[in-house]
Amino acid sequence: MARLDSLIIFTTVVKANNFTNAAHQLGLTPSAVSKQISLLEDRLGVRLLNRTTRSVSPTEAGQLFFNRCSRLLEDLEEAEHMVKDLETSPRGTLKISATPTFGRAMLMKIFAKFLEQYPDVNFDLTLADKGMDLVREGIDLAIHLGSLQDSRLVARPVARQKVIIVASKEYLEKHGRPETLQELTNHYILMVSGIDFAEPRWIKRFLKEAALINKDRRFTVNDLDALCEATLNDMGISALPYYMIREHIESGKLVNLLPEVNIPTRTIHVVYPENRYLSAKSRAFVDFMANYFIEHNLDDV
């Protein structure tokens, strides 16, 4: 059997944790799989797997060998896709992750327009507040807000997130409209907490500047959609991303307070693992998303 085949068998066994499941996936018998692993160990002169009656697990050497083999096989698969993509238009499933709020407020519109141009692409969207391991989760692209901490990722900026201070028209009619940051101390404050992408350190700096650091909040929640609903239901004043409340502001339900206050914007990136081939469907979507914000005059969203 070819050396490449033995690597495929070995990585399949490690992922499956036993010979029987691996054999089923490979279309071989368990004895044939076991024999190939033994031949591979003999050739390398090292034991790669710890065997029990029910399962197998990699030895220290086996784990190192598995990590390298997995990367080699992934590179080979990407090379095949790269050649195929030269002759084909974007197609297949595109796995994307994003924060729930941005995904619901923005991505559905972008997906719909993208599919008009590339009908052979399917989307598999994961919404999560916390960052995900793109390689381990098999995700092609992620929408990331704010600074990027993982140096293993390539990031392409596509827009900036704008945060504004808002309250409902009904709340302001009852409690009055603040004209300065300091006047916020006389109002009910609604806050988001416990969300990584919300940058709680920035929120603390803002509260300190507005003299709100020690003020009791009427409502605190770890979900931006819930915070928006609380604001729409006249519970108080909040700071929310413009992209999720734009329609409410245009309709007059929410009012943009203190527009002269300079709240720092945060960059919205499309990210993907470095040193990995970017498929035709991924390239098409990254370019499309960047152009979408430009064409719709949404540099700040």
Residue 117: HSE in the Cβ half-sphere, 13 Å Cα cutoff? 12
- Residue 218's Cα: distance from chain center in Å? 31
Residue 138 is assigned to a structural domain of this protein: yes
Q: Are 174 and 237 in contact (CB under 8 A)?
A: no
Residue 125 is assigned to a structural domain of this protein: yes
CATH number at residue 137: 3.40.190.10
Total number of domains constituting the chain: 3
Q: Are 156 and 290 in contact (CB under 8 A)?
A: yes
> Is residue 151 domain-shared with residue 286, that is, in the same domain?
yes
> Is residue 59 domain-shared with residue 17, that is, in the same domain?
yes
Residue 14 is assigned to a structural domain of this protein: yes
Structural domain containing residue 144: 92-158+266-295
Residue 86 is assigned to a structural domain of this protein: no
> Is residue 180 domain-shared with residue 244, that is, in the same domain?
yes
> Is residue 239 domain-shared with residue 169, that is, in the same domain?
yes
Q: What is the pLDDT of residues 163-189, one digit of tens each?
A: 889 999 999 999 999 998 888 888 898
Among the residue ranges 66-70, 86-90, 118-122, the one predicted with the least confidence is: 86-90
Residue 270 is assigned to a structural domain of this protein: yes
Taking the C-alpha atoms of residue 65 and residue 58, their distance in angstroms, rounded to an integer, is 9
Residue 301 is assigned to a structural domain of this protein: no
Q: What is the pLDDT of residues 42-80, one digit of tens each?
A: 999 999 999 887 889 999 999 999 988 988 887 787 777
Taking the C-alpha atoms of residue 92 and residue 75, their distance in angstroms, rounded to an integer, is 19
> Is residue 121 domain-shared with residue 173, that is, in the same domain?
no
Residue 218 is assigned to a structural domain of this protein: yes
- Token readout for 94 is 């595109």
> Is residue 137 domain-shared with residue 64, that is, in the same domain?
no
> Is residue 232 domain-shared with residue 291, that is, in the same domain?
no
> Is residue 216 domain-shared with residue 277, that is, in the same domain?
no
Residue whose pair of structure tokens reads 């050649």 in the numeric block: 83
Residue 138: what pLDDT?
A: 79
